[in-house]
């Protein structure tokens, strides 16, 4: 049994509103899996079904081989859930919350105490352990919420936007904890709105929108799909922009004479970069600034979920004035026309 | 970083052990809610004390209670009213739990879901015992002179617990059928107000119009009040002693499964 989570044709609707329209994916045991999508895509709904809080209308899902509908009890024994909204008790102290969850997870008294002490320490909550949660800040509450879902060291963990509202340091701590859990053979399914987070943590990503899977792959694969790495150049004022274009533009590259920017696709090697600069130097073109741009998961997200017109937009290289480079001559002619007018 | 801990195995015990353990864990939680939320406890005491003073000093002089003094007559009624309002906290607390995120956590745990209900109801026993004691003390301060011996005090305590248990299960049902917190706050009044006023809590039923009188003399609150009064100050008890126990047991037996069923349905648990 290689997959910890298997989802087949999952469907769910709220009244007439169809939220999930046949979702399929599987999560390899011991991996970190990212579920991405815009607001309202159905991420939380999927997690609620997988954690037995909600019954699907169709399709099936298993966690550790147990069906989430018919073997709900077995599923519950092996999962930890940190929902999108804090699920902790306001009147109890941080420590009491963890002790309570431990017992409800059916740990022995000794294990409950041991795990509580360890998690309070791990999440930096020792000093506030004896204070009721009413006095906690949002981030402290979030950390306790996460600690609570780890109390029984479950083998599958669902994290619905685990780092929303955390400060950068706490976020890094959380990332470390997640990586550590994954290294210890825990399977983690997480959703997030921070693409950097998904990029750093997730080995495999599924993007859903309007209840269907619109793309999936490793972060690298997804990024490669929206475009390649690019060299972005700004040509100095005194230099001949057209000459620069002739020297380095190939089909599919972008040039913007007004802003004097050129964007060239590259495989990212140093030789290639040197070659571009050499050619410009040879033709007497001076470069003002140069930067390398890698597509990010943000680009993937924006492109896939239809909030950007083209991959170029997503790459951040262009705006309305940008032109795709065509065969050099045609471009030349156009440029001349522009100078005339 | 610290090395990954080995998986923690659940402890091995019988299902009965876990059922009791879950209930105990959640009862302790609910009791902490009571002791740490003094506003709630205070509001529970203030209203009955005001009723006590109001009836004792304003209406008391105009109400004829035959052989007993009015304050001796009144305390059993105020006590039962206090218990009923105390139990109505279950309605509110249940709605609060169901609307807050914590219910999601409970539902995703391998625990007995209905122990959440049990926790609230058992915590009511704790709360009502305390507020009952305070009411008796307040009564003593304004001239209440009970004649009960130790055995009768024990009976009063027993009935207090039985009555609380029954009304709390009923209030749990209310908490499971209302949709909002606002509704939870008034819905129990709809039941408790008529049942306490159309009873012998504050005035003898003799002066009521015929139809109301039939209701007032036979409804469970009156029967519980009469039994308490008989044990506290020695008024004639008739059948009220055993009848009150039958009523409380009956209400519990009917309400408990309904509440459990509603809870499972409302929480949309997959069959467990
Ligand atoms: N209880 C409910 N009743 C009716 N509609 C609901 C309910 N819960 C969710 N929805 C709807 O289902 C859709 C998907 O919601 P879901 O919470 O799964 O989205 P999400 O991907 O988690 O979004 P977000 O990123 O904003 O958290 C939304 O259109 C939402 O309005
Ligand atoms: Mg969500």
So what's the ipTM on this one? Answer: 0.85
For residue B253, being part of any structural domain is answered with yes
- pLDDT value of residue B271: 33
Token pair for residue A335?
């440029």
A54 lines ligand 1 (CB under 6 A): no
Q: At CB < 8 Å, which residues of chain B contact A? A: 1-2, 4-8, 10-11, 13, 18, 21-22, 25, 29, 32-33, 36-37, 100-111, 268-272
d(CA A199, CA A216): 13
Range of the domain at B154: 15-267
pLDDT reading at B122 higher than 60: yes
For residue B5, being part of any structural domain is answered with no
Half-sphere exposure of A32 (CA within 13 A, CB side): 23
Instruction: Provide, as residue numbers in chain A, all residues whose Cβ is less than 8 Å from the Cβ of B100.
Output: 87, 90
A154 lines ligand 1 (CB under 6 A): no
Coil vs helix vs strand at B202:
coil
- pLDDT value of residue B38: 80
Segment-wise mean pLDDT, segments of 10 residues, chain A, 341 residues: 89 91 93 92 93 91 93 90 87 94 92 94 90 88 90 92 86 88 90 88 92 89 78 87 85 82 82 86 87 78 62 43 55 45 45
* pLDDT tier at B267, thresholds 50, 70, 90: low
Domains of chain A, start order: 3-222 (3.40.50.300), 223-340 (3.30.70.100)
Residue A69 has its nearest CB partner, among B6, B37, B270, at B270
Phi/psi at A13 (5° precision): -135, 150
Token pair for residue A99?
């002790």
A20 Cα: distance to centroid of ligand 1 (angstroms): 10
d(CA A13, CA A34): 23
Closest-CA distance, B184 to chain A, in angstroms, reads 20
A225 touches A300 (CB < 8 A) = yes
Query: How many domains does one find in chain B?
Result: 1
d(CA A119, CA A136): 17
* pLDDT tier at B6, thresholds 50, 70, 90: low
Q: Quick one: closest CA in A to B34, which residue?
A: A91
The reply to whether residue A180 touches residue B4, judged by beta carbons under 8 angstroms, is yes
- pLDDT value of residue A243: 86
d(CA B81, CA B198): 12
Token pair for residue A226?
């929206």
For residue B6, being part of any structural domain is answered with no
- Angle, CA A235 vertex, CA A234 and CA A237 arms, to 5°: 120
Mean pLDDT over B21-49 rounds to 88
Closest-CA distance, B272 to chain A, in angstroms, reads 7
Instruction: Provide, as residue numbers in chain B, all residues whose Cβ is less than 8 Å from the Cβ of A184.
Output: 4-5
Buried b / exposed e along A289-306 (16+ C-beta atoms within 10 A): eeeebebbbbbbbbbbbe
For residue B3, being part of any structural domain is answered with no
Phi/psi at A212 (5° precision): -130, 155
d(CA B263, CA A109): 28
- pLDDT value of residue B228: 94
For residue B7, being part of any structural domain is answered with no
For residue B90, being part of any structural domain is answered with yes
Please tell me the pTM assigned to this model.
0.80
For residue B28, being part of any structural domain is answered with yes
Residue A76 has its nearest CB partner, among B100, B104, B108, at B108
- Percent helix, strand and coil across chain A, each rounded to 5? 40, 25, 35
d(CA A193, CA A171): 13
d(CA A254, CA A263): 5
The reply to whether residue B108 touches residue A148, judged by beta carbons under 8 angstroms, is no
What's the mean per-residue pLDDT of chain B? 87
Point out the least confidently predicted range of A1-15, A297-311, B75-89, B247-261: A297-311
d(CA A202, CA A79): 19
DSSP string across A120-168? HHHTT-TTTTTSBGGG--HHHHHHHHHHHHHTT--SEEEEESTTTT--H
CA B204 vs. chain centroid, Å, equals 24
Q: Which residue puts its alpha carbon closest to atom 28 of ligand 1?
A: A40
For residue B46, being part of any structural domain is answered with yes
Token pair for residue A174?
């959380």
d(CA B52, CA A158): 54
Q: Quick one: closest CA in B to A84, which residue?
A: B101
B246: CB partners within 8 A, 6+ apart: none
């Amino acid at each position: 049994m290689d997959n910890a989570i298997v989802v087949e044709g999952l469907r769910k609707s709220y009244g007439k509103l169809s939220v999930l329209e046949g979702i399929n994916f599987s999560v390899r045991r011991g991996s970190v899996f990212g579920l991405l999508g815009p607001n309202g895509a159905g991420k939380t709904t999927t997690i609620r079904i997988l954690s037995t809080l909600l019954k699907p209308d169709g399709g099936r899902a298993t966690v550790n081989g147990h069906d989430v509908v018919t073997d709900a009890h077995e599923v519950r024994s092996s999962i930890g859930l940190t929902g999108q909204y804090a699920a902790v008790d306001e009147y109890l102290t941080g420590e009491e919350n963890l002790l309570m969850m431990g017992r409800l997870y059916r740990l022995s008294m000794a294990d409950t105490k041991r795990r509580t002490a360890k998690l309070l320490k791990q999440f930096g909550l020792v000093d506030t352990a004896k204070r009721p949660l009413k006095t906690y800040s949002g981030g402290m509450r979030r950390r306790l919420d996460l600690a609570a879902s780890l109390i029984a060291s479950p083998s599958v963990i669902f994290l619905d936007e685990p780092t929303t509202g955390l400060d950068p340091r706490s976020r890094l701590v959380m990332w470390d904890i997640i990586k550590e859990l994954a290294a210890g053979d825990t399977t983690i399914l997480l959703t997030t709105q921070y693409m950097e987070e998904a990029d750093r943590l997730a080995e495999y990503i599924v993007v859903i929108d309007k209840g269907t899977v619109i793309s999936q792959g490793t972060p690298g694969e997804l990024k490669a799909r929206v475009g390649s790495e690019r060299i972005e150049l700004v040509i100095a004022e005194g230099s001949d922009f057209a000459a620069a274009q002739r020297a380095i533009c190939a089909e599919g590259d972008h040039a913007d004479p007004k802003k004097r920017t050129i964007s060239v696709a590259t495989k990212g090697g140093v030789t290639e970069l040197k070659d571009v600069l050499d050619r410009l130097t040879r033709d007497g073109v001076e470069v003002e600034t140069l930067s390398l741009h890698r597509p990010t998961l943000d680009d993937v997200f924006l492109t896939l979920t239809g909030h950007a017109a083209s991959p170029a937009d997503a790459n951040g290289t262009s705006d309305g004035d940008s032109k795709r480079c065509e065969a050099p001559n045609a471009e030349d002619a156009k440029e001349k026309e522009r100078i005339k007018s | 970083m610290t090395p990954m801990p080995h998986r923690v195995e659940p402890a091995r015990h019988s299902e009965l052990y876990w059922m009791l353990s879950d209930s105990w864990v959640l009862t302790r939680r609910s009791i902490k809610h009571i002791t740490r939320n003094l506003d709630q406890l205070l509001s529970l005491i203030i209203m009955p004390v005001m009723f006590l003073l109001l009836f004792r000093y304003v209406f008391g002089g105009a109400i004829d209670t035959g052989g007993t003094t009015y304050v001796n007559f009144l305390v059993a009624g105020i006590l039962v009213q206090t218990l009923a309002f105390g139990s109505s906290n279950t309605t509110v607390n249940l709605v609060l739990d169901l609307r807050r995120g914590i219910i999601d956590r409970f539902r995703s745990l391998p625990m007995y879901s209905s122990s959440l209900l049990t926790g609230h109801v058992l915590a009511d026993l704790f709360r009502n015992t305390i507020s009952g004691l305070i009411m008796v003390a307040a009564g003593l301060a304004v001239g209440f002179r009970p004649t009960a011996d130790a055995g009768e005090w024990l009976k009063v305590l027993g009935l207090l617990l039985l009555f609380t248990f029954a009304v709390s299960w009923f209030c749990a049902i209310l908490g499971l059928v209302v949709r909002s917190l606002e509704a939870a706050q008034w819905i129990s009044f709809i039941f408790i107000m008529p049942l306490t006023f159309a009873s012998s809590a504050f005035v003898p039923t003799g002066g009521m119009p015929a139809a109301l009188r039939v209701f007032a003399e036979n409804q469970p609150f009156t029967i519980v009040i009469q039994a308490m009064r008989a044990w506290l100050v020695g008024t004639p008890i008739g059948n009220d002693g055993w009848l009150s126990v039958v009523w409380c047991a009956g209400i519990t037996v009917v309400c408990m499964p309904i509440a459990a069923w509603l809870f499972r349905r409302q929480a949309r648990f997959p069959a467990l």
